[in-house]
Amino acid sequence: MRGPHNLWRLIRTGATFQRTGAMGAALDAVDAPPRLRLAARMLGWPFAWLGYKGDPALPPITRAITALGPAYIKFGQIMSTRADVVGVELADQLRMLQDRLPPFSTDVARTMIATELRQPVEALFSEFSDPVAAASIAQVHHARRADTGQEVAVKVLRPGIEAAFRRDIDAFHFAAGLIERLLPQSRRLRPRDVIAHFESVVTGELDLRLEAASASQYIENTAQDQGFALPSPHWDLSGRRVLTSDWAEGLPMGDVPALREAGHDLHGLAERVLQLFLRHALRDGFFHADMHQGNLKVAASGDIIAYDFGIMGQIDAYTRRIYAEILMGFIQRDYHRVARVHFEAGYVPRDRDEAAFARALRAVGEPIFGADASRISMASLLGYLFEVTERFGMQTRTELILLQRTMVVVEGVARSLDPNINIWQAARPVVEDYIRDALGPRAIGRDLHLVAQTISRYGPLLPRIVDQVLWDMARREAPETPPPSHDRSRLWLGGAALALGGIALGAMLG
């Protein structure tokens, strides 16, 4: 329950941040106002002795978060790409949370697998290793199927993780509400909506059957994508707490020296990872939303292998078109177009000056063009962009949170492979292809086809709907007099004609 009892959890959190030295660093990173600093000190300093000590070898902020547990680690991972919320410097520090975490016992994992799949591990796998990777929610074991001998990866949820997350997310909701009350200007960033989004993401990750379903859909969508491979789930060896999938063999994308030594084209890989993300987001509206180096490998063939499908993003067709229009506007340096799209989509309030917004966007975009990519300060660029959106009253778009943060993550992956990559040049062909397909004559035909299908689907109901509308109108005009039968007949025939027209149109366009 999101009640005052959560104050104790917040005090413990503040105490841990105070004890580890993370409190001052976090407040400095987000340039917190005096009132929030005072509240943090009041909650943290007198109770510092209650805080967890953490690992002194880690930087203060990551030390505090890892000490507080998996829910905080997961939230830190997600916020590591929300520089607009936590600041660029702090976001850079939080990216350390994507690294390996301490695993839990292999014996415990075996017990959980046997309970979930109702057979002993020895009957299911002829080989079963100690953990080869461990994250905030689950860990992975390398195994071999007993029946086929195929190498597989077995992912097992951390024990007690569901209860831990429910408890901590409850405290996050309470804290977000408190922040909005103490700091009204924070409402533009919609802290409570961000926490609700985080809760929905984590809830999906805690059921590995949903991850298997996401993997299956992702494989279908990307079957024709060259240079991209995905491990398939093994449904017969998977459940809510256990997921078995193909073993992905390759070099970690984060190991740049090993990739270079193996002879891989680093610039080509950087360009491809960007284009794959954009293609999946724009073409399919369904994309891998956790594409950091820890979830990517490069096969000996040069294929990019993605895995860990616990966080997937989904955006509707309308939002994809808006996003593509904004990207294309930046690519073409048409800032009036970008501004107009923001206003038309309702991202910026109508009472703001569109021309002034376009000029502000120009100040954001122009430094990108004609400059050496390695000399562009992404920190300065992001800082100014967030300043612009605040000035024009642009609120956080919760439906775009995953898209925005994944774009930042993927750009970071691409730059780690090739610091000189031109992000816009790499993105241009994908965006142009989508614009041509989504906004051209074929797109208009598809839209009309969908309209016709909808009309034809509701055709049998149209006479009844029209009849009911006429009856309601007649009752309002003359409660005691039923509507004339000839009027009702005309409307019935009109509805039938509309339905038939829709069916005919659907048949022609189909």
3-state secondary structure of 119: coil
What are the backbone angles phi and psi of residue 104, rounded to the nearest 5°? Answer: -100, 175
| Residue type, position 248, single letter | A
Tokens of 415: 């730059």
Q: Is 406 within 8 Å of 77 (Cβ atoms)?
A: no
CA 52 to chain CA centroid, nearest Å = 30
Q: What residues are paired with 242 via a beta bridge?
A: 156
Residue listed under structure tokens 């997921």: 243
Q: Which of 458, 455, 459, 462 is nearest to 492 (CA)?
A: 462
Residue listed under structure tokens 């992001």: 382
Calpha distance 261→396 (Å, rounded): 43
Catalytic, out of 170, 290, 308, 418:
290
Calpha distance 134→1 (Å, rounded): 30
Calpha distance 355→343 (Å, rounded): 11
Q: Count other Cβ atoms within 10 Å, centred on residue 148.
A: 10
Q: Which of 133, 129, 109, 111 is nearest to 120 (CA)?
A: 111
Calpha distance 490→164 (Å, rounded): 63
Q: What residues are paired with 141 via a beta bridge?
A: 131, 154
Q: What residues are paired with 128 via a beta bridge?
A: 143
Q: Is 290 a catalytic residue?
A: yes
Per DSSP, 125 falls in state E
For 409-430, b/e burial (b = at least 16 CB within 10 A) is bbbbbbbebbeebbbbebbbeb
Q: Is 33 within 8 Å of 127 (Cβ atoms)?
A: no
Annotated catalytic residues are: 290
